[in-house]
């Protein structure tokens, strides 16, 4: 019987997950498929019942299901419990289990791009205060960042996120800080790693409001946005001597970890796969040219 996996959410037609997982399934010669399933929160219970029954091997969840799914699960991985969000579900030892692969996906990509680089003992600046920021800050604290400074348009939301993360990481509150928005040039220059977790710079969105220093030699700038691959944030950083890392790798690595939960082995995020997805990202833009 063909194993069926899925990505569920609403809207879901834009998802590139079928291309990514389909690549690995074909690479391994699996009798398996991966489909988009348009799903609202009201339809979620029915979808998960198919996972429990074995009709579906497992799947990914995106907006607006990442938080709503938790009430339906038997077990959560530690990261999913701390973040209060799930992007991967499967049956493990007869129990419906949820994980969040974003944290390890982010750091796996960073390690692939910068072998040997570590956030341990370093100061990090995170822009944004949504779910991605929560995941990345959790990972930074777990991996020993010296300080993590958060900047967000909504001060109230940033303050709430810092309070929540401080509560889930006892003894680390002095390492979590807030700074003003827009971010001043001295703040940008003072951090070894700067991560944009906002949608600013994405196609159709304005660029980040930042006062850029003249030089940023050796600092690492990571943008979780991957459409376009070269955002204004990365272009500005690279022009000033920084190392710029785009968000496509995080998408691919978190997907690889999900695949590992379903099939027992984490696949390689290869150059061939990245080239395939990059071509798909470029194709819509080329199609719109006169």
Backbone angles phi, psi at 213, to 5 degrees: -70, 160
Angle subtended by helix axes 17-27 and 248-263, to nearest 10: 50
User: Helix, strand or coil for residue 138?
Assistant: helix
Which residues touch 42 (CB under 8 Å, ≥6 apart)? none
With CA atoms as reference, report the closest residue to 140 among 85, 222, 72, 73: 222
In eight-state DSSP terms, residue 226 is -
Place of tokens 């590992």: 260
Looking only at the bridges linking them, the beta strands covering 193-196 and 147-151 are unpaired
User: Helix, strand or coil for residue 74?
Assistant: coil
**Residue 203 known to be catalytic:** no
Which of 66, 92, 203, 271 is flagged as catalytic? Answer: 66
With CA atoms as reference, report the closest residue to 242 among 220, 209, 259: 220
Looking only at the bridges linking them, the beta strands covering 88-92 and 75-76 are unpaired
Which residues touch 86 (CB under 8 Å, ≥6 apart)? 61, 66, 67, 69, 70, 73, 76, 80, 98, 99, 100
Strand partners, 148: 124, 176
Q: Alpha-carbon distance 28 to 48, whole Å?
A: 26
Handedness of CA 74, 77, 82, 85 (dihedral sign): negative
Give the catalytic positions in this structure.
66
């Amino acid at each position: 019987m063909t194993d069926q996996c899925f990505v569920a959410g609403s809207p879901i037609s834009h998802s590139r997950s079928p291309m990514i997982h389909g690549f690995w399934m074909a690479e391994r010669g699996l009798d398996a498929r991966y489909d988009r399933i348009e799903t609202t929160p009201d339809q979620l219970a029915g979808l998960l019942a198919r996972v429990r029954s074995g009709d579906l091997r497992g799947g990914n969840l995106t907006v607006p299901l990442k938080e709503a799914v938790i009430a339906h699960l038997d077990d959560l991985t530690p990261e999913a419990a701390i973040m209060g969000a799930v992007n991967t579900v499967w049956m493990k030892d007869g129990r419906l289990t949820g994980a969040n692969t974003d944290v390890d996906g982010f750091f796996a990509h960073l390690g692939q791009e910068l072998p040997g680089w570590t956030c341990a003992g370093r100061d990090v600046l995170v822009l944004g205060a949504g779910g991605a920021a929560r995941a990345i800050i959790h990972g930074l604290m777990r991996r020993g960042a010296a300080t993590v400074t958060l900047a967000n348009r909504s001060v109230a939301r940033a303050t709430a996120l810092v309070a929540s993360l401080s509560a889930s990481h006892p003894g680390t509150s002095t390492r979590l800080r807030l700074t003003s928005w827009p971010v001043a040039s001295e703040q940008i220059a003072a951090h070894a790693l700067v991560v944009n977790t906002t949608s600013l710079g994405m196609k159709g969105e304005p660029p980040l409001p930042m006062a850029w220093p003249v030089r940023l030699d050796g600092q690492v700038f990571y943008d979780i946005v991957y459409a376009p691959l070269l955002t204004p944030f990365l272009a500005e950083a690279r022009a000033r001597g920084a190392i710029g890392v785009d968000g496509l790798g995080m998408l691919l690595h978190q997907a690889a970890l999900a695949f590992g939960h379903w099939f027992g082995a984490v696949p390689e995020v290869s150059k061939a796969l990245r080239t395939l997805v990059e071509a798909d990202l470029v194709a819509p833009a080329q199609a719109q040219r006169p």
